[in-house]
């Protein structure tokens, strides 16, 4: 893979070798499944197939917040999808999400299973299903949705742009790192200016907008992704830091970060979570809840 400035693209791109980098073994230019594998189904109304990446954490935080608020219908089974091994290309998962990206949710509470894919869609679906974490006031609801979809459009510059070239690419290249570092710092400034005047993204109400943004930008500010906190000088964004730390202390957020986690101490990881009450009991000491 060339890193020089004199690369000339061919007239027609062809996939003739791996591109390199951390995820080269699962990157390909075609969709669909690579192998037959049914998805497991547990006992609860909601079946979550995911991994504790930022996009996955959005949904487990939402589900744990719903349970903490007393919505027993939000009990769920969390099944681990190991994307590094290509689980997302199994036939069952492709049936749940034809885009082969985590997370995917299957709601089995109705007369027939209903698939929900894309993290933002799942958050909105759950908010509407349970009437929770989406403001009822029209102005606040609109603001929450503004920021929910801001995250959908902005995070690819953080993850697929900055994160890839700074942390995952096979070699360091000045232009893309500078380009995406500039954009991520601009995004942090957008958040910082907004949070200077608002406790949460939708104003004074904690909502799915916070749950969508926090796993990406909160993790960045706390130095949990890409090892880039010093490089981006994240401590300068004091209002983002305040918001990040406040959300991090919520017991449901602490629980949500643990589900389907594959890194860190074993005590910080929970796999294939099948019972809400048992889960809360087993993790009470771990999270101080």
Among residues of the chain, what percentage have pLDDT more than 70? 90
The confidence score (pLDDT) of residue 16 equals: 83
Q: Is the pLDDT of residue 216 over 70?
A: yes
Domain-located, residue 62: no
Rounded CA separation 155/165 (Å):
14
- Find out whether 190 and 237 touch, Cβ atoms under 8 Å: no
Domain-located, residue 184: yes
Rounded CA separation 157/212 (Å):
15
Rounded CA separation 50/261 (Å):
10
CATH, residue 188: 1.20.1050.10
- pLDDT digit string, tens, across residues 85-142: 999 999 999 999 999 999 999 999 999 999 999 999 999 999 999 999 999 999 999 9
Rounded CA separation 200/240 (Å):
10
269 exposure class (CB count in 10 Å sphere: 0-12, 13-18, 19+): middle
Q: Is the pLDDT of residue 220 over 60?
A: yes
Domain-located, residue 73: no
**For residue 152, what are the domain limits?**
138-253
Residues near 231 by Cβ (< 8 Å), separated by ≥ 6? 166, 181
Question: Nearest Cα to 209, choosing from 199, 221, 196?
Answer: 199
Q: What's the predicted TM-score (pTM) here?
A: 0.90
- pLDDT digit string, tens, across residues 19-52: 666 666 788 889 999 999 999 999 999 999 999 9
Q: Which of 48-62, 184-198, 259-273 has the lowest mean pLDDT?
A: 259-273
Domain-located, residue 236: yes
How many distinct structural domains can be found in the chain? 1
């Amino acid at each position: 893979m060339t890193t020089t400035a004199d690369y000339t693209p061919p007239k027609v791109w062809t996939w003739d070798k791996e591109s390199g980098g951390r995820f080269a073994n699962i990157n390909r230019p075609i969709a669909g499944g690579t192998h037959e594998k049914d998805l497991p189904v547990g006992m609860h109304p909601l079946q979550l197939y995911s991994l504790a990446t930022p996009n996955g954490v959005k949904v487990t935080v939402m589900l744990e917040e719903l349970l903490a608020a007393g919505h027993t219908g939000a009990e769920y089974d969390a099944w681990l999808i190991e994307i590094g091994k290509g689980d997302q290309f199994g036939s069952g998962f492709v049936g749940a999400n034809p885009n082969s990206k985590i997370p995917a949710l299957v709601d089995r509470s109705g007369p027939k299973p209903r698939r929900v894919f894309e993290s933002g869609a799942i958050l909105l679906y759950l908010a509407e299903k349970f009437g929770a974490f989406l403001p009822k006031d029209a102005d606040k609801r609109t603001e929450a949705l503004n920021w929910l979809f801001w995250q959908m459009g902005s995070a690819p510059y953080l993850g697929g742009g900055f994160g890839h070239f700074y942390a995952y690419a096979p070699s360091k290249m000045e232009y893309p790192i500078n380009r995406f570092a500039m954009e991520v710092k601009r995004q942090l400034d957008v958040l910082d200016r907004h949070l200077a005047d608002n406790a949460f993204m939708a104003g004074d109400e904690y909502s799915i907008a916070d749950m969508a943004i926090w796993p990406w930008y909160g993790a960045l500010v706390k130095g949990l992704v890409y090892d880039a906190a010093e490089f981006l000088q994240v401590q300068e964004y004091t209002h983002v830091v305040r918001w990040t730390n406040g959300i991090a202390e919520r017991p449901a957020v602490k629980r949500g970060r643990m589900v389907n986690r594959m890194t860190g101490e074993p005590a910080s990881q929970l796999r294939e979570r099948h019972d809400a009450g048992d889960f809360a009991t087993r993790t009470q000491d771990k999270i101080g809840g």
